[in-house]
């Protein structure tokens, strides 16, 4: 532990603006053009995600992932009412898409093997 404090040194938790970000989005409704995608951290917290480079977004989420450009402050302002107080910049891992479970017809029974 360092006992000497330097006034000009930033705090480790100090947030440095990330600049314009590429934010994953999806098509919106008739009242909104696009909706930003929300994600979860490995511990289950909601987080907004932004990428500093469009190519990095494509590598992580796929080339067909739509995106919008937002500043960090705009992304935080949009995400806060949705319960996402956290912002993740340039995540490198993502889970694969969920495979839908086929719907059984009404009255169908499941046989044990």
Question: Residues 36-50: pLDDT tens digits?
Answer: 999 998 888 999 999
pLDDT tens for each residue of 49-105: 999 999 999 999 999 999 999 999 999 999 999 889 899 999 987 666 667 767 766
- Closest residue by Cα to residue 74 from 113, 28, 18: 18
pLDDT score at 38: 92
Give me the DSSP letters along 24-93. EEEE--SS-SEEEPEEE-TTS-EEEEEBSSHHHHHHHH-TT--EEEE-HHHHHHHHGGGT--EEEES---
* pTM: predicted TM-score of the whole model, two decimal places: 0.66
pLDDT score at 108: 56
Q: Is the pLDDT of residue 5 over 80?
A: no
The answer to whether the CB of 73 falls within 8 A of the CB of 18 is no
């Amino acid at each position: 532990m360092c006992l000497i404090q330097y006034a000009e040194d930033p705090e480790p938790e100090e947030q440095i603006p990330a600049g314009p970000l590429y934010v994953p989005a999806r098509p919106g409704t008739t009242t909104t053009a696009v909706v930003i995608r929300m994600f979860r951290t490995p511990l289950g917290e909601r987080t907004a995600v932004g990428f500093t480079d469009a190519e990095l977004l494509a590598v992580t989420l796929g080339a067909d992932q739509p995106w919008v450009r937002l500043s960090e402050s705009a992304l935080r302002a949009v995400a806060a009412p949705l319960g996402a107080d956290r912002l993740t910049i340039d995540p490198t891992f993502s889970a694969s898409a969920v495979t839908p479970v086929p719907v059984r017809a009404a009255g169908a029974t499941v046989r044990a093997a």
